[in-house]
Every structure is written in C-alpha cells, then in structure tokens.
Amino acid sequence: MNMPASQCRHCGRLFHNGKSHCSGCDRDSLDPVDLSGKGNVYSYTEIYAAPKRFVQQAPYLIVLVEMEHGLRVTGRMLNRPVQIGERVELHKVEDHCYYFAAL
C-alpha cells in the first residue's frame, strides 16, 4: 500500500507523520500526499522484552526502512527472518504503527 504522508507546499520537504507545520521552512503549509510504500531495510532489531501492551506479541521485529522517497521510518516487520537491504513494502498502518512485509 502507499504511505500516507505530508509534503510542504513551499519547500517540498516530506514528513511521515500527521503534522501540519513544516519544520524546514517554519510554515503551516503541509498537504497530505500518498507516497510509495516500498523501501529497503536499513536496520532492524528484535524485541524480546516488550512494553506491557505488546507482551503477547513478543518476540517481534522492529525495522528501520529507507523508503524510495527518501524518508526513513520505523515499523514492525511481519515476516522473518529479515535482512539488511531487503526489499519491503508497507502492508498496513494500525495504531500509528507501520507494518512492513517482504516484497
């Protein structure tokens, strides 16, 4: 799926969270955009000692993904094992968390 994001009308800077204010040019000029949900795994870690609300899901993988459009986002990886450089795609967004799957 595509990644919901925001882009500044003035300087073109991209943001992956639901902001309305651009920290690049200091204006309230962000418009919602749909970006490619594809990217490559830049780094990852496996969580064994999870926060209370995720205990049932542990162990699970957290990935840092370098997206095709240049943003780096943190999310959960649905497949395992995972490798640095692996091609992944955004699978869903739930509770403000990005879930990635191998391509």
Which residues are at the interface with Zn ion (CB under 5 A)? 8, 10-11, 13, 22, 24-25
48/51 Cα distance (integer angstroms): 10
DSSP character at residue 2: P
**Nearer Cβ to Zn ion, position 28 or 46?**
28
**Nearer Cβ to Zn ion, position 10 or 87?**
10
Least separation in angstroms between residue 71's CB and Zn ion is 15
Least separation in angstroms between residue 93's CB and Zn ion is 24
Kindly list the distances between the CA atom of residue 10 and the CA atoms of 31, 36, 48, in Å, as whole numbers in the listed order: 10, 21, 43
**Nearer Cβ to Zn ion, position 71 or 93?**
71
In this structure, the chain runs to a length of 103
